[in-house]
Amino acid sequence: MIKNIDIKVLRNCFGKFATGITVITALAPDGTKIGLTVNSFSSLSLEPPMVLWSLDKKSKSIGAFIAAPHFAVNVLASDQMDISNNFARTSENKFNNIELLESKCNLPLLSGTVAHLECKNISTYEGGDHLIFIGEVEHFKTSNKKPLLYTNGQYTVAARHPAVKMSVPEGKDVSSKDDFIVPLLLRSYWEISDPFYRELQDEGMPIAHARIIVHLSHSPNLTKADLSKAIRIDIAAVTKSVAWLCNNGYLNKLNNDQLALSQAGNEHLKDVQRRAQRLEKEVLDGYSNEDVDMLKSMLKKIIDRQDV
């Protein structure tokens, strides 16, 4: 060991490098699910597709991971801090109440992640007090959720750098030099809403479905024509979405063709609202409470004037 290096200070130095957070999962030889939180994951090669991660040699599960023919890399999303903490603990019941997905390699895949990679465990290498695992990617899947990051000993989230110009959706002709309020509102709406709706679509919830559920939560007993006008989606798309939502138990049909959320619809609404709250927190991160309150006040005033 090199002398005169303070390990605690060195650990803090390493912590200056921001990393994503993963949970590595596998099956032990006896079929038991194993998993732990890891931020040493890295891509290694594209041809062939390979990744690596490392594990402390003192880990109780190191033998099981060495013996496992496959492992999965679950890249955690920004709303999965609790999952990160759960798999960072030493516990026999880490998988209790954890929602899992089907795996082509029969691995425990965590639901709701940014991405997961199913890998063949092809080799290990010595790395000081850690063992380096090399895996060849056999299957993978991604979503549009924001990743959970870790730096300076604490969790954080990724945000677009202010110097990076925002991309305007195709077909939207809005000048970046335009200071009129309407174009600015439109651009801010696209910036905030696009990641949210892409995330819902990744999990099988089309935009029209989500807008209908949200709108009926505060304006119940509307017809399809009322909904089409309110959420700015054509009647054909609304009709198709309403049929699906009714058939799957999210909406109830009332008298005079009016619609209302069912119990299942209200439960799904909670999930949509939870995602929206997380996204809003990410978007407004770094702004003062005064700035946020002023923004909300101005927007409410604009809305109230249009409703008169």
- Kindly state whether residues 265 and 225 are assigned to the same domain: yes
- Specify whether 185 is located in the same domain as 218: yes
In the listed set 122, 156, 190, which residue is the last one of a domain according to the structure? 156
* Same-domain status, 216 and 146: no
- Alpha-carbon gap, residue 213 to 48, rounded angstroms: 45
Asked if residue 278 belongs to a domain, the reply is yes
Is 92 contained in some domain? yes
* Same domain for 86 and 196: no
Which parts of the chain have pLDDT scores under 70? 1-3, 159-179, 202-204, 306-308
Task: Decide if 241 is inside a domain.
Answer: yes
Shared-domain flag, residues 125 and 252:
no
Residue 44 domain boundaries:
7-156
Residue 123's pLDDT is 95
Please count the structural domains in the chain. Answer: 2
The pLDDT, as a whole number, for residue 296 is 86
Q: Mark whether 145 and 262 lie in a shared domain.
A: no
Where residue 27 sits, what CATH number does that domain have?
2.30.110.10
CB 39 within 8 A of CB 25: no
Q: What is the pLDDT of residue 111?
A: 93
Burial, 120: exposed, middle or buried (Cβ in 10 Å; 0-12, 13-18, 19+)?
middle
Domain presence at residue 54: yes
Indicate if 26 and 105 belong to the same structural domain: yes
Clarify whether residues 187 and 268 are in a common domain: yes
Residues 13 and 138 in one domain: yes
Q: What is the predicted pLDDT for the residue at 120? A: 96
Phi then psi dihedrals of residue 187, to 5 deg: -65, -40
0.85 surpassed by pTM: no
CB of 103 closer than 8 Å to CB of 109: yes
Q: Which residue among 98, 123, 156 closes a domain?
A: 156
Q: Say which CATH number the domain at 249 has.
A: 1.10.10.10
Whether 75 and 41 map to the same domain: the answer is yes
Structural domain includes residue 173: no
Q: For the segment 203-254, what is each residue's pLDDT rounded down to a tens digit?
A: 667 778 888 888 888 888 899 998 988 888 889 988 998 998 999 898 999 8
- Looking at the domain assignment, is residue 163 inside a domain? no
- Do 136 and 222 belong together in one domain? no
- Is 275 inside any structural domain? yes
**Is residue 137 domain-resident?**
yes
Q: Are residues 146 and 188 in the same domain?
A: no
Angle at 17 between CA 12 and CA 20, to 5 degrees: 115
CA dihedral 297, 146, 90, 103 (to 10 degrees): 140
Contacting residues for 237 by C-beta, under 8 A, at least 6 apart: 208
Here the tokens at position 51 are 């990744």
Q: For residue range 48-67, list pLDDT tens digits in order.
A: 999 999 999 999 999 999 99
